[in-house]
Structure 1
Amino acid sequence: MTQPPLPSDARPDPHLNRSGSDLRKNSETAEPLNELVSRDSAKPEEVDEDRYQRALQFLYDRINYEKLVDGASRFPFRLKRIADLIDRLGLSHFLDPTCVTSVSGAIGSAVPVTPPGRVTERVIDSIPLIHIAGTKGKGSTATMVSAALTAAGIRTGTYTSPHLHSLEERFRVDGKPCSARELIELVECVREAAEQMANESVGSPTFFELTTAISLLHFHRSDCQVVVIEVGLGGRLDCTNVCRPTVSVITSIGLDHQHVLGDTKEAIAAEKAGIIKDGVPVISGVTESGPAEVIERISREHSAPLYQLGRDFAVTDERCDDWGSIVNFDGRDCFEDLNQAQLSLEGTHQARNASLAIAVLQTFQRQTSIEVPQDAIRTAMMRLRCDGRLDRYRLPREVTVIVDAAHNEDSVTALCQAVQRRQYKKPIAFVFGTSVDKSAEPMLRLIGDLANSITLTQFSGNPRFCPVESLQKRMPDGYSGELFIQPDAMQACRTALDKVPDAGTLIVCGSFFLAAEVRGYFESLQISPKR
């Protein structure tokens, strides 16, 4: 069973400007088109193919490829509509009452959704919820938190985006994606409410609003005891921000989605800090002074206790011989220490994410009295999988292949640091392709410092690819290695792999789309990826 192809009007068209800064996306959803991935994965279970296709098409039709945007003022995110949808589905116990007041401001202004000083009583039957924002690290942190809760025997729902292969990946209960059959039933339930709204002044919900509502409905039906929600884009006006959190998390602040969130880290921090609610503890991994001060100010305005990495807790890590690291969490005077925890994920940045997850879990325990033993945290960290994050494949000829979904300067920096830390032998070859709205220059500069060769390519599963001709023009002047151009992503990987010498290294990065398209090829060359 396959997911439907993109609509014919999703092809690149002349309405895009030369720089690619105008994005084709639904102007009323918090998810850019480049956050969707190829829809070609098979469904192992027996379900009604026609119903499945209709369900997916209903959702994807809510992505309006014909609406263009130009700057932050063109993003009329409406939190009232998603709150209305959630309420109609009988899920009002997830809602924060202070977030359903009139909200129509444009992203980029520093006005928080929740008015400072307004403290409301928590709904008695509400489900504990952990809300995670950040430029990078939020997906990994969400996975770590969820895995630890599940290891502690707590039924946990996790909503993340984008997906790599199938939409069902976004809606997980205890790590397991919802089934195709469940997705059909969820969409059909949400569709009825959405079609009613389409005939009213509130208007039809968008793709991301629908998937957010689907996630909450799935978790409610699955009797989840805790819900972990990853922000789609920004925070303040992201449609996940109608939920009442038990703990709020901001993993990092970097330059990404500037056309929506603002041109400075301080402006972006203000948007992401929009998830902060009155009296709700905040865990922050932001250490740079400018954005950290913004988060501290907004936390103070909301009387929200703030725990900051580097000030209130710290982490060190030691590289394991083969892969991953040993994490030492220093709780200082705020948390309980956790030492010598084995983390299966590679990179110092993942150890940093692990420290945030540990701080979140300990804060969660204080807020709810739900126990998450250290043994559960250790077990989760040791067994963790996070697809698309430094996936490692060991191939014949002792060649190592790494596929990573890094798609902005900060995430590519983390990738390159992880590669350098492992001291992979030269030569190192890269295959790189990214989305049209991404700043390719700093990413190419970073990989150019490591690469002996770079193959520029483009993915085919989404119309938001950056053409290889454009990427070629963005190559850094100082790059002295070999440069190859191959628009077909699979052929680019095959050719690059053929050129890698024995015991060499090939790294594929730049986009979730690219990672999704090529992972299967490298998996076919070995039994399973080694992590």
Structure 2
Amino acid sequence: MTPTVSNYEEAIQFLFGRINYERASAGSYTSNDLKLGRMVELLARIGNPQERIPAIHIAGTKGKGSTATMIAHVLTDAGYRTGLFTSPHLHRFEERLVVNGMLPTEPQFVELVNQLLPHIVEMDVLPGRMAPTFFEIATALAWMHFESSRVDYVVLETGLGGRLDTTKLCRPLVTIITCISLDHTHLLGETVEQIAAEKAGILKMEVPLVCGVRDDGARRVIHHIARELKVPIHQLGDDFEVEMASIRFDRDVGFRGVMQLRTESGETTPLQFSLPGRHQADNAALVYTTCELLRKEGLALDPEHVRSGISRVRCPLRIERVRSEPTVILDAAHNVASISALVDTLECLPDSARTVIFAASQDKKAAEMLVELKRGFERIIVTVFQNNPRAVPIEELVPYAEAAGFTEIGIAKSPAEAWEMASADAAPNDLICVGGSFFLAIEVREHLQGLTDNAPSTKAEPVPNLNQM
């Protein structure tokens, strides 16, 4: 008899009982554990919905979540029913599979899991390590939800790399590679060129690529693979370019960005973008160029839909301001490049006492991230996140912080304790920033929101406003 789940809690418990590489330590698995055969089999068993829904497929070391969300906003604003698949989630698993900004309801989610369960049970006993993993099941559930919701288009963010990622199994209208830097090196390679080759695994024969990669070595690799596949290349810095971008900060309204984009037609277009950071101007340029390609494919995308989608989008944990007195910033930055972008963005804030709360995963370059953070902060509080076993121990972080030049170093046993320490003596004009790990940022965000006391929301965004707290 095929097992079933009777409620939402059982469905979630089942999912998190699967092999989950998002929570596994770096040394516990290799690229040999990532294989598309399981995903091919699982999708075939549910009727290959990915073959019927056109996709926009996005890879990159950073920026892919922001880019995916902006494109989904544009398509939704234009009247298209749009699925968005991103990872990881913040507070609820269903954040990974939203339609027009809405999460599936709990009954819908339970039904999806029960529909998929018989196939999982059958695959679990197949020879050759065919038991589906957490992320493979998540991807299948997303496709099932998107098809049952009758979406017009799906925007897909890769989970890891590209060549062996479960999202590779799709029919894209266009692919996007945002940028390349060092991350997940134990799986993707020790150089940007090796990582670029993995990310370029999403490219499909003759399907256009919008490329935001500025590193020369990584770009050469991507262009070489694209030429072999006869892929039309639309390259940031060559075919279109951000000619000017500036970020302004107001303590009452937060960050706002303005930019001038030279489009592929040679025209200069002014844009506003709401996601903070100079790097978000590059992402906005990728979105604008992608939408121009989609318009040429026949999609009815008015320029105002594009401008609105870029200017209104909000992504939690992307330099997210959650309080104003003191200014509190939560960021999911977890590699050297994203930490550097965070520090650069915060330069526009008024001079004040600055504290950073920091934790990191064991497969990240914690020492190098701390060197970058010292450029922007005088005081650091090191801690360990509680809900993932990959955290670097505090006793390792302290000497890293000392070597980076920090002299004011606080030690907290948990993110909640770190927050209480940082906020205890903070003045209204001070800055408290949380960075170094997605898991750390989530735990501080949950501590501030008190999610356990609130009813769950079925709206993916905008997220609950913390500025009122």
TM-score by length of 2: 0.90
Partner Cα distance (2:284, 2:83) in 1: 19
Q: What's the CA shift string for 1:362-392, capped at 9, x where partnerless?
A: 112223x111111111222222110111111
Q: 1:89 is matched with which residue: 27, 30, 46?
A: 46
**Counterpart amino acid of 1:342?**
Q
Residue 61 (structure 1) aligns with: 17
The answer to whether the 8 Å contact 1:152/1:373 transfers is yes
Report whether the alignment pairs 1:386 with 2:342: no
Q: 1:317 is matched with which residue: 242, 245, 269?
A: 245
Q: Within 5 A, what are the aligned runs for 1:160-309?
A: 160-201=86-127, 203-309=130-236
The answer to whether the 8 Å contact 1:146/1:156 transfers is yes
Residue 467 (structure 1) aligns with: 393
Over 3 Å counting, the alpha-carbon distance change for 1:444 and 1:67 in structure 2 is closer
The answer to whether the 8 Å contact 2:77/2:305 transfers is yes
Residue 21 (structure 1) aligns with: none
Q: What SS does the aligned partner of 1:130 have?
A: strand
Partner Cα distance (2:430, 2:24) in 1: 45
The answer to whether the 8 Å contact 1:157/1:224 transfers is yes
What is the CA-CA distance between 1:69 and the residue it aligns to? Answer: 6.7
Over 3 Å counting, the alpha-carbon distance change for 1:321 and 1:388 in structure 2 is closer
Partner Cα distance (2:264, 2:79) in 1: 28
The answer to whether the 8 Å contact 1:425/1:505 transfers is no
Report whether the alignment pairs 1:143 with 2:69: yes
The answer to whether the 8 Å contact 1:445/1:476 transfers is no
Q: What's the CA shift string for 1:103-142, capped at 9, x where partnerless?
A: xxxxxxxxxxxxxxxxxxxxxxx32201100000000000
Residue 338 (structure 1) aligns with: 269
What is the CA-CA distance between 1:400 and the residue it aligns to? Answer: 0.7
Q: What SS does the aligned partner of 1:513 have?
A: helix
Residue 18 (structure 1) aligns with: none
Residue 5 (structure 1) aligns with: none
Partner Cα distance (1:509, 1:61) in 2: 28
Report whether the alignment pairs 1:79 with 2:36: yes
Partner Cα distance (1:328, 1:527) in 2: 30
Partner Cα distance (1:158, 1:432) in 2: 30
Partner Cα distance (2:31, 2:281) in 1: 38
Residue 466 (structure 2) aligns with: 528
What is the CA-CA distance between 1:513 and the residue it aligns to? Answer: 1.2
187-196 vs 153-162, greater mean Cα deviation: 187-196
The answer to whether the 8 Å contact 1:449/1:479 transfers is no
Partner Cα distance (2:269, 2:149) in 1: 32
Q: What SS does the aligned partner of 2:98 have?
A: strand
**Counterpart amino acid of 2:228?**
E
Partner Cα distance (1:362, 1:82) in 2: 32
Residue 25 (structure 1) aligns with: none
Identify unmatched segments of 5+ residues in structure 2.
Answer: 451-463
Q: What SS does the aligned partner of 1:487 have?
A: coil
Over 3 Å counting, the alpha-carbon distance change for 1:358 and 1:343 in structure 2 is same
Report whether the alignment pairs 1:362 with 2:288: no
Q: What SS does the aligned partner of 1:59 have?
A: helix
Partner Cα distance (1:492, 1:401) in 2: 13
Q: What's the CA shift string for 1:6-52, capped at 9, x where partnerless?
A: xxxxxxxxxxxxxxxxxxxxxxxxxxxxxxxxxxxxxxxxxx99521
**Counterpart amino acid of 1:236?**
R
Partner Cα distance (1:64, 1:161) in 2: 13
What is the CA-CA distance between 1:94 and the residue it aligns to? Answer: 1.7
Report whether the alignment pairs 1:347 with 2:277: yes
Residue 345 (structure 2) aligns with: 418
What is the CA-CA distance between 1:201 and the residue it aligns to? Answer: 3.2
Partner Cα distance (1:70, 1:475) in 2: 24
Q: What's the CA shift string for 1:259-294, capped at 9, x where partnerless?
A: 000000000000000111100000111011100000
The answer to whether the 8 Å contact 1:441/1:476 transfers is no
**Counterpart amino acid of 1:155?**
R
The answer to whether the 8 Å contact 2:49/2:144 transfers is no
The answer to whether the 8 Å contact 1:314/1:331 transfers is yes
Report whether the alignment pairs 1:456 with 2:382: yes
Q: What SS does the aligned partner of 2:89 have?
A: coil
**Counterpart amino acid of 1:62?**
R
Over 3 Å counting, the alpha-carbon distance change for 1:67 and 1:412 in structure 2 is closer
Write out the 4+ residue segments of structure 1 that deviate beyond 4 Å after TM superposition. Answer: 64-74
Partner Cα distance (1:73, 1:179) in 2: 35
What is the CA-CA distance between 1:491 and the residue it aligns to? Answer: 1.1
What is the CA-CA distance between 1:528 and the residue it aligns to? Answer: 2.6
The answer to whether the 8 Å contact 2:336/2:369 transfers is yes
Partner Cα distance (1:226, 1:131) in 2: 11
Q: What's the CA shift string for 1:306-347, capped at 9, x where partnerless?
A: 11111111113233453211232211337x6532x2212111
* Number of residue-to-residue matches in the alignment: 445
The answer to whether the 8 Å contact 1:457/1:487 transfers is yes
Q: Aligned-pair RMSD on alpha carbons?
A: 2.2
237-246 vs 262-271, greater mean Cα deviation: 237-246
Partner Cα distance (1:475, 1:390) in 2: 22
What is the CA-CA distance between 1:68 and the residue it aligns to? Answer: 7.5
Q: 1:500 is matched with which residue: 421, 426, 433?
A: 426
The answer to whether the 8 Å contact 1:152/1:376 transfers is yes
Q: What's the CA shift string for 1:140-184, capped at 9, x where partnerless?
A: 000000001001011100000001111010011011122222211
What is the CA-CA distance between 1:75 and the residue it aligns to? Answer: 2.5
Partner Cα distance (1:387, 1:393) in 2: 9
Partner Cα distance (1:237, 1:130) in 2: 17
Q: What SS does the aligned partner of 1:385 have?
A: coil
Over 3 Å counting, the alpha-carbon distance change for 1:529 and 1:83 in structure 2 is farther
What is the CA-CA distance between 1:522 and the residue it aligns to? Answer: 3.8
Q: What SS does the aligned partner of 1:379 have?
A: helix
Residue 326 (structure 2) aligns with: 399
Over 3 Å counting, the alpha-carbon distance change for 1:50 and 1:469 in structure 2 is farther
Q: 1:488 is matched with which residue: 403, 411, 414?
A: 414
The answer to whether the 8 Å contact 1:346/1:418 transfers is yes
Partner Cα distance (2:189, 2:119) in 1: 34
**Counterpart amino acid of 2:371?**
R
The answer to whether the 8 Å contact 1:132/1:249 transfers is yes
Identify unmatched segments of 5+ residues in structure 1.
Answer: 1-47, 96-125
